[in-house]
Amino acid sequence: MQEFNGLVSIKGQRKLALFTYPSFLIFFSLTLADFFLFIRCFSHDSATSLPYLYTMSKVKTSFFCSNCGYESAKWLGKCPSCQQWNTFIEELVSKETSKTKQDWKEEKKGNKVTLIQDIESSEEKRIVTHDGELNRVLGGGIIPGSRVLVAGEPGIGKSTLFLQNALQMSSLTTLYVSGEESEQQIKMRADRLQIKHPDFYLLTETSTQIIFQEIKKLKPELVIIDSIQTLQSPFIDSSPGSISQIRETAAEFQRYAKETQTPVIIIGHITKDGTIAGPKLLEHMVDTVLQFEGDQHYAYRILRTTKNRFGSTSELGIYEMTSGGMKPVNNPSDILITQKEDQLSGVSIAATMEGLRPLLVEVQALVTPSVYGTPQRTVSGFDSRRLQLLLAVLEKRGGFHFGTRDVFINIAGGLKIEDPALDLAMVCALLSSFEDVPISQKIVFAGEVGLSGEIRAVNRIEQRIAEAEKLGFDKIIISKHNKRSPDHHPGIEILTAGRVDEVYQLLF
């Protein structure tokens, strides 16, 4: 089979092959009919009118930024979108004319422009799951037609969590698409969860064309994709997991969710840096981004919201991994505070807020003389730059010489806390370890420490006090600038302070 002007023909194969012979042999071997065909081939219009079998597709390549997904026709050293260096990689791209046809679509008219005042306001409907922690993180439940992206470390429990929630929603027809595991492996996990669902369907497939054909037959009310990095669109000539494939498959499910009002939960991988694998565009294409995190050495897992178009982004859900699946923790303060008989120095209790949930956590500090010339600063679960700031305040305003001491900080339970109300408890734990004097485990702290050593007010102080009172604490130390209702908490003594030195005098 020979190529001529990008076209392939079987009928003209023998004739076109004559170009390979020397010119003096051509005229001796041509018949009269062949001679006229030879003359016609010099004209492109005549050549293309011959009965060709197909047109050879030209290979098209593009360069994509591995950080944000920006597309360029040539390689660039610096991405003009995200300003990152050396992030462009080359991938094969092939556009098909059949791409415009979607397998799930029904014939309908297009949308028209509408005045915003003509649109009737209606209360958003949510699919309320049986998992209170998941409902809290999503803002009250799953919105029909929404796309939820869940990412986390390998083996953290992403597939188990959403398989468990899907099985519990027995009133919904659910389709679970897996590109990583076999049907037998998913069945084994479902048997371990011991939950029955009459309309739960499995599909182990990676081609989006086949997936949408099955979706059109089944018409599910909930679709779970595990995972987006394993899917492959037939309209893109790159391998699964590449930037163009992730972008195309995510766009197909985005169109499907919006046009059919079917919620789609997408499970994704993360990179070694902890970011979601694929272009940043993937996070922009979905409505909610959840991060499932936790230490492998702890049994507790935390589900955080980093983006939510239908709720707060500061909520979190806490789970305990058991042999029977993920168990929601309704009162995490009980498990985050270590029960000790002996009082030890360097330990304090902080009243923090994660979204709308009050959370009491244990802060542990260890201050020792530095053996090396440069003192160490080791932090787990707390911002190291914030620790440097607090140590500078104690050096300048309190006269405590931490410049010759090693400092080690840990938040018990493997949590990562960013609430500024943790500052006061952190300072008290540092001073307790510095003086080697224990703090009573019946005292809770809630306050932000400023650069001049003042204790600033924090938000939602009433909820923090109520949580400490509910767990049986005797005292709570807060900023004197906090506004609160008088005599509203008779079960706990409320102490106020305006500066760090006042707290030091109260405790030591």
- Residues 217 and 275 both lie in one domain: yes
At residue 290, the pLDDT reads: 94
- Residues 447 and 475 both lie in one domain: yes
Backbone angles phi, psi at 153, to 5 degrees: -65, 155
CA atoms of 36 and 186, how far apart (whole Å): 67
- Which of 279, 300, 330 finishes a domain? 330
In a domain, 105, yes or no: no
- The CATH number given to whatever domain includes residue 348 is 3.30.230.10
- Residues 196 and 246 both lie in one domain: yes
In a domain, 115, yes or no: no
- Residues 344 and 325 both lie in one domain: no
Residue type, 483: K
Residues 6+ apart with CB under 8 A from 451: 389, 393
CA atoms of 358 and 315, how far apart (whole Å): 11
- Residues 304 and 386 both lie in one domain: no
At residue 93, the pLDDT reads: 66
In a domain, 104, yes or no: no
Q: Among 261, 262, 241, which Cα is nearest to 250's?
A: 241
Q: What letter does residue 394 receive in the DSSP assignment?
A: I
- Residue-number span of the structural domain to which 189 is assigned: 127-330
- Residues 272 and 351 both lie in one domain: no
- Residues 250 and 341 both lie in one domain: no
Write the DSSP string, 395-409. IIII----TTEEEEE
CA atoms of 31 and 35, how far apart (whole Å): 6
Interval 117-173: pLDDT, tens:
888 877 778 999 999 999 989 988 999 999 999 998 888 889 999 999 999 999 999
> CA 136, 141, 144 angle in degrees (round to 5)?
155
Q: How many CB atoms lie within 10 A of CB 456?
A: 16
Domain count within the chain: 4
E strand map for 207-285? 222-226, 264-268
At residue 100, the pLDDT reads: 43
Q: Do 496 and 480 form a contact (C-beta atoms < 8 A)?
A: yes
Q: Among 224, 195, 415, 222, which Cα is nearest to 325's?
A: 195
- Which of 97, 116, 149 finishes a domain? 97
Reading the block at residue 440, the tokens are: 């009573």
Q: How many CB atoms lie within 10 A of CB 300?
A: 18
Chain centre distance of CA 278: 11
Q: Do 193 and 167 form a contact (C-beta atoms < 8 A)?
A: yes
Reading the block at residue 125, the tokens are: 């409907």
- Residues 184 and 306 both lie in one domain: yes
CA atoms of 308 and 310, how far apart (whole Å): 5
Q: How many CB atoms lie within 10 A of CB 254?
A: 16
Q: Among 350, 428, 368, which Cα is nearest to 404's?
A: 368
Residue type, 123: E
Q: How many CB atoms lie within 10 A of CB 132?
A: 12
- Residues 39 and 64 both lie in one domain: no
- Residues 47 and 155 both lie in one domain: no
CA atoms of 374 and 218, how far apart (whole Å): 65
In a domain, 302, yes or no: yes
CA atoms of 15 and 54, how far apart (whole Å): 18
- Which of 330, 363, 389 finishes a domain? 330
In a domain, 224, yes or no: yes
- Residues 238 and 140 both lie in one domain: yes
- Residues 13 and 35 both lie in one domain: yes
Which portions of the chain are predicted below pLDDT 70?
1-59, 93-110, 296-297, 338-341, 484-487
